[in-house]
A and B are shown apart, each in its own frame.
Chain A
Amino acid sequence: GQNIDQPTEMTATEGAIVQINCTYQTSGFNGLFWYQQHAGEAPTFLSYNVLDGLEEKGRFSSFLSRSKGYSYLLLKELQMKDSASYLCAVRDGDYKLSFGAGTTVTVRA
């Protein structure tokens, strides 16, 4: 089966930086995705990594190390609206997505 681990909760101050780690063990690998999900809403796509390294997209960056089975999502210049759940998802050898349980980020003023 698939095993994807990420912290349950994180709290940070407005304007700060937060890094959400994700480790995975899957049968096959065809990319890692990060999604943002506000309560009661659809997950929205944030980033996609398939090769090792850092992908930067505005205030959000995502890093992947395939050899270590490790990724992180970096949120910079935190805003109150960034309070949400962040989901790490890995696409396996059958091109199916397996999700972590999500990390709830709370941004305080």
Chain B
Amino acid sequence: GAVVSQHPSRVICKSGTSVKIECRSLDFQATTMFWYRQFPKKSLMLMATSNEGSKATYEQGVEKDKFLINHASLTLSTLTVTSAHPEDSSFFVCSASEAGTDTQYFGPGTRLTVL
């Protein structure tokens, strides 16, 4: 089946630093990748949609300069949280879908803690 990986699974960083999270589709080519954010006991909230080779489309209220998304290849998308602050601490999940399919396959998530 379709497998999506994320790295790292957990990261703890100091306030003011930047953190990069990778999302990879391991056995299929992902024309579209999605980035979600989840706070405890809350819904997964879509942050942005990225298509390979083009700029990401951000949802309303998501700061594009804060959350930099790059989708450089058909198997890799990255999310960089810039100048992280404690309120940025949350669970980030990516998903990927193959061209012509309806289903999104999710990565295992990355828990970010900013001290």
Contact = CB atoms under 8 A, between A and B. Distances in A.
Interface of A: 4, 8, 31, 33, 35, 40-45, 48, 87, 89, 91, 96-102
B109 A4 contact: no
B49 interface: yes
Given A40-B108, A42-B107, A102 B43 contact: yes
A35 B46 contact: no
Interface centre among A43, A91, A96, A97 (most CB of B within 10 A): A43
A45 B103 contact: yes
A37 to B, nearest CB: 8
Interface residues of B, number: 21
Interface of B: 4, 9, 34, 36, 41-46, 49, 93, 102-109, 111
A43 B107 CA distance: 8
A91 B103 CA distance: 10
A contact patch SS: strand
B106 A40 contact: no
A73 B94 CA distance: 24
Contacts of B108: 40-42
B102 A100 contact: no
A98 B60 CA distance: 14
A96 B46 contact: yes
Contacts of B93: 42-43
Contacts of B45: 99
Contact of B106 (A8, A43, A48): A43
A96 B102 CA distance: 11
Given A48-B102, A96-B49, A101 B109 contact: no
Contacts of B43: 4, 98-102
